[in-house]
Amino acid sequence: MKSRFYTFPFLLMTCLMGCSSVVEYDLQGHRGARGLLPENSIPGFLLALEYGVDTIEMDVVVSADSQVVVSHEPWMSAEICSHPDSTAVDEEEAMSLNLFTMSYERIALFDCGSRGNERFPEQEPMSVAKPLLVDALRAVESAAETPVRYNIEIKSREDGDGVFHPDVDTFAHLVHEVIVKLDVMGRTTIQSFDPRALESYHRIAPEATLALLVSNERGFQSNLDRLSFLPQIYSPNHNLVDRSLVDSVHSAGLTIVPWTINETARMRKLLDLGVDGLITDYPDRAVAMQN
């Protein structure tokens, strides 16, 4: 049975066996609206709001001065970022531009939007810096006409400890401090591929909504066994989702929110299978399914 928090307001009108029905699900804008505007940017988050997403999904890393920064990689991506002098970051130097060794003042000088993204031809190039989590949340809170949810991924892994990010306890505490400061705890999910990060956050805030991200083929129970507690959400790569997995997740009392689904035919298929949410780079495509 779904809790009140997971009674999703986004509606999709479908026709099954000739009869119209309403499917409720959580529409999440992946990195804001990556297919349309630069990823993990404040303009992208605000555009996702305009399309009526229920949840804004984003990634966070940590700077040298312990600021929580919205970024998918803990370095400057050669795919999208440019130096302050506008020269493109290249592959050989990308990982050396380690955000964990850079102050936020320096990080903010890099442009990670003007080059666009070749993998997303509909994306409108725009000059953007990697924002602080606190600033991103403030911007969304100010713009949202109704309360919006957040899905924040802690980007940690064991071989990155002390290299690309602090230890997971410190990382989790820094993120938690921002969420509490902005008073959005009740509308925030913390997700991670790293079970250690979820364990840490669970210790800090046992009431927190947590999501286990999964990209492997070990199976549902095997992945759950990596945690000492039961998370509220199981979030697999959408290619791993079939009816059996959906039934297993629901039987365990969890919700299933797959990522990252950009084709409308696959969106419809997953909703037919009974998933509880969709994470997409193109919230506009999900909205268009209603028409």
Q: Is residue 88 part of a domain?
A: no
Q: Is residue 35 part of a domain?
A: yes
Q: What is the largest CA-CA distance in the chain?
A: 59
The per-residue pLDDT for 153 is 99
CATH number of the domain bearing residue 140: 3.20.20.190
- Assess contact for 95 and 77: CB atoms under 8 A: no
Which residue range is the domain that position 268 belongs to? 15-74+131-288
In angstroms, the CA 168 to CA 28 distance is 25
pLDDT (tens digit per residue) in 169-217: 999 999 999 999 999 999 999 999 999 999 999 999 999 999 999 999 9
- State the DSSP code for 275: -
Q: Is residue 5 part of a domain?
A: no
Provide the domain count of the chain: 1
Q: What is the mean pLDDT of the chain?
A: 93
Q: Is residue 96 part of a domain?
A: no
pLDDT (tens digit per residue) in 95-114: 999 999 999 999 999 999 99
What residues does 111 pair with on adjacent strands? 82
Residue 158 makes CB contacts below 8 A (sequence gap 6+) with 194, 196
Query: What tokens were used for 121?
Result: 């031809």
- Minimal CA–CA distance to 42: which of 174, 134, 147, 179? 134
